[in-house]
Structure 1
């Protein structure tokens, strides 16, 4: 069954560099799963984000007739996983894309953006769908404080 699901989802090749699948939860008998990937921020050493998203199975793709698209829903949690060293990051209000994965052939991607809240010394990670026509209101955020308790 996994081979068939993989073949059906070839168009959804992940673009997350350095992403490592760390969990897979089966949600029903037709092969739909929730995948959890760990991704280290490439410009902020010591921060790892875990992104969970829905992966449609072959039977779901066949029954719904939409072969080439996965839902936009996702969840994110980012944490300090070692000493934090902030590299050359975009410090604008728009932030920068940290990583992304395709959710359809062309039209939709799931993105994680990093925004630096300098006043509060916090990194904000936002996961959202980017769609060609309508965008998406489905989003989640996680924050990582840069202050060190007890440090002067």
Structure 2
């Protein structure tokens, strides 16, 4: 019985800490889905840690006091500052890219991740947001792109093709 009480107290502490921390950070918007629901759409702004000239806005459902576990999300990333060739040189250029943001969304082991992938032929940054929990046979995901054209990191294809390799 003592172990059960300790486990319940630990769970309560984690839940309370998570609730308090949701008010901190990068929240830029919160929209209620109605008077008779405990669900809200939360909009966060996240700056790419290696490319500070890119900001991603991520929308997701927050279901307070609800046993529903929604996984839908949206993402929109834009160039909000300079992007240099040095910034691009620092990133993982493999096909699977690298995780740039992670956020726990529930005590039921669901996580929202945003992965950056570099599309070298098109000189474009891809930001893929996805849920680690399968819902109705599907992993929810969304994609946003940031073309480098017009930035300091863009290389004219005619010039790069003429350079010796």
Where on the TM-score scale, by shorter chain, does this alignment land: which range? 0.7 to 0.9
Gaps of 5+ in 1: 1-6
Select the structure with the greater relative contact order (CA < 8 A; seq sep ≥ 6).
1
The Cα of 1:50 is off from its aligned counterpart by 0.1
Residues 137/33 of structure 1: CA separation in 2 closer, same or farther (3 Å cut): same
Residue of structure 2 equivalent to 1:34:
41
Distance in 2, matches of 1:19 and 1:49, equals: 14
Change (3 A) 1:135 1:90: farther
Instruction: Check whether the contact 1:40–1:48 (CA below 8 A) recurs between aligned residues.
Output: yes
Matched pairs, number: 137
Q: Which has the higher strand share?
A: 1
Instruction: Extract structure 1 runs of 4+ deviating beyond 2 A.
Output: 7-15, 131-137
Could you report, residue by residue, the CA deviation over 1:98-128 in whole angstroms, capped at 9, with x for unpaired residues? 1011122252101111000011000000011
Kindly indicate whether the alpha-carbon contact (under 8 Å) linking 2:59 and 2:74 is maintained by their aligned counterparts in 1: yes
Q: TM-score, normalised by structure 1?
A: 0.76
CA distance in 1, matches of 2:92, 2:125: 11
Q: Relative to structure 1, is the Cα distance of residues 23 and 133 closer, same or farther in structure 2, using a 3 angstrom cutoff?
A: closer
Q: 1:8 to 1:53 in 2, by over 3 A?
A: farther
Cα distance, 1:148 vs. partner? 1.4
RMSD (Å), alpha carbons: 3.3
Q: In 1, distance between residues paired with 2:149 and 2:69?
A: 38
1:24 to 8, 22, 30: 30
Residues 112/46 of structure 1: CA separation in 2 closer, same or farther (3 Å cut): same
> What is the correspondence of 1:119-134 to structure 2 with a 5 Å cutoff?
119-131=121-133
Q: CA deviation at 1:31?
A: 2.7
Residue 94 (structure 1) aligned to one of 96, 109, 113: 96
Q: TM-score, normalised by structure 2?
A: 0.70
